[in-house]
């Protein structure tokens, strides 16, 4: 079962609150791991695929922008390496690449969908459930909630059947409704 509450912390809180309340690794350790991974080039360690074969994305998909989002998502997921904090992982990624200043952050993953839909930095696209596995890197998938998945789920596609949130895993299918968002071209600066 996924419990993707976003009680999460922003990168700023990593420094101001160094001890995790659940007894796991401290937030400072997570942030230190993230920075170390970035310095060591670990953001290139997880392969991503920006080849778009879905016609529904032809007018909006930008491989450079979305590839940067996916690489950053993989790095954040590897650094956080938790479970049940998907919304925190995706929101930390969006803030890291400049696609959010915290306005997407929500108490639960499913709540991020409406905020993404209202953001000028994303375009919602409609695709079939069978095409989810074919999403190129850098698309955001938001799953709705139900009795079993009270918080839903959110992740960034890596374009190879994998997704990144607060950890990297095979793409999830909660069996609930889902929405897909693509960063709008030129909506963020590409990190060198």
- Nearest Cα neighbor of 135 from 143, 144, 126 is 126
Q: What does the pLDDT average to over 72-88? A: 95
Global pTM value: 0.75
- Nearest Cα neighbor of 164 from 36, 62, 68, 33 is 68
Q: What does the pLDDT average to over 89-110? A: 93
Residue-wise pLDDT tens digits, 126-171: 999 999 999 999 999 999 999 999 999 999 999 988 999 999 999 9
Domains of the chain: 11-183 (3.90.1720.10)
Alpha helices in the chain (DSSP H): 11-16, 27-39, 63-80, 86-97, 112-117
Q: What does the pLDDT average to over 55-76? A: 91
Stated as kind and residue range, the H or E segment containing 164 is strand 162-164
CA separation, residue 7 to residues 50, 60, 68, 174 (Å): 31, 31, 26, 21
Q: In the chain, pLDDT over 70 holds for what percent of residues? A: 72
pLDDT class for 46, splitting at 50, 70, 90? Answer: confident
CA dist 129 and 68 (Å) reads 25
């Amino acid at each position: 079962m996924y419990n993707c509450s976003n009680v999460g912390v922003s990168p700023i809180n990593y420094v101001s609150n160094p001890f995790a309340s659940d007894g796991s690794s401290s937030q400072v350790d997570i942030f230190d791991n993230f920075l170390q991974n970035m310095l060591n080039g670990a953001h290139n360690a997880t392969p991503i695929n920006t080849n778009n074969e879905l016609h529904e994305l032809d007018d909006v998909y930008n491989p450079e922008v979305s590839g940067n989002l996916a690489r950053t998502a993989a790095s954040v997921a590897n650094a956080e390496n938790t479970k049940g904090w998907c919304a925190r992982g995706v929101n930390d990624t969006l803030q890291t690449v400049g696609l959010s200043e915290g306005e997407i952050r929500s108490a639960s993953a499913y709540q991020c969908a409406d905020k993404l839909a209202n953001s000028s930095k994303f375009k919602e696209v409609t695709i079939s459930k069978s095409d989810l596995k074919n999403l190129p890197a850098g698309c955001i998938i938001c799953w709705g909630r139900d009795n079993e998945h009270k918080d839903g789920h959110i992740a960034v596609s890596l374009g190879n059947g994998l997704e990144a949130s607060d950890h990297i895993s095979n793409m999830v299918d909660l069996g609930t409704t889902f929405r897909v968002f693509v960063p709008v071209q030129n909506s963020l600066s590409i990190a060198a």
